[in-house]
Amino acid sequence: MKCNNAVRTFAAIEINEDLRRKFTALQNELKHTRASVKWVEPANIHFTLAFLGDTLSSILDEVGHAMDAIAQTVAPFSFEVSGLGFFGRRCSPRVIWAGAKGNLPPLMDIQARLIASLKELELPIDDKPFVPHLTLARIRSPQNVDELVEALESRKEEYFGQVKVYRMVLFGSQLTPDGPRYTVLHESILNG
């Protein structure tokens, strides 16, 4: 149950407009498979570092301070967005994603340190291993899924571009009938 003074939040790395345009075109191509899919709005595509869920407004400043402390020790960096895939079994995929490759140690370090900081704030953080990816869609049903999986497998090595990381962002997420709406609550500029 959501408290009145809680905000649904997550920390993320944003992608650039060039990548958003490429994923818009890709989603339009993949729609031709007629699979039963809920596509993520291109404006909402991001690399999630930590999902905090419903977070009390009173602790948001502490989360921002924790992000700032990490950002002060990390220099801006870049990594590649490459490859398409899915989570789940081939016969019943759940999520379509684009992957991250190349210079991933700084990203992995930021994420690990952020998780540790959030745990120190006693927030209930998921301990699943971090697999950097961009969620492009969620599968609704197995309808026409074979054609979609074949299209994904034919593009499993496709290069989409680079992400230049200059900041981490804490987003608020409001769920609406038209999909989630994100608001920037805090940004931490990489300054190391």
- Taking the C-alpha atoms of residue 13 and residue 107, their distance in angstroms, rounded to an integer, is 9
- What b/e sequence results for 110-125 when a residue is b if at least 16 CB atoms lie within 10 Å of its CB, and e otherwise? bbebbbebbeeeebeb
| pLDDT for residue 138 | 94
Query: Per residue in 113-147, pLDDT tens?
Result: 999 999 999 988 887 899 999 999 999 988 889 99
Count of alpha carbons within 13 angstroms of residue 95, beta-carbon side: 10
pLDDT for 65-121, tens place per residue?
999 999 999 999 999 999 999 999 888 899 999 999 999 999 999 999 999 999 999
> In the predicted model, what is the mean pLDDT of residues 167-174?
95
The pLDDT value given to residue 62: 95
pLDDT at 24 over 60: yes
SS (HEC) of the chain: CCCCCEEEEEEEEECCHHHHHHHHHHHHHHHHHCCCEEECCHHHCEEEEEEEEEEEHHHHHHHHHHHHHHHCCCCCEEEEEEEEEEEEECCEEEEEEEEEECCCHHHHHHHHHHHHHHHHCCCCCCCCCCCCEEEEEEECCCCCHHHHHHHHHCCCCCEEEEEEECEEEEEEEEEECCEEEEEEEEEEECCC
Domains and CATH numbers, the chain: 6-189 (3.90.1140.10)
What confidence score (pLDDT) does residue 40 get? 94
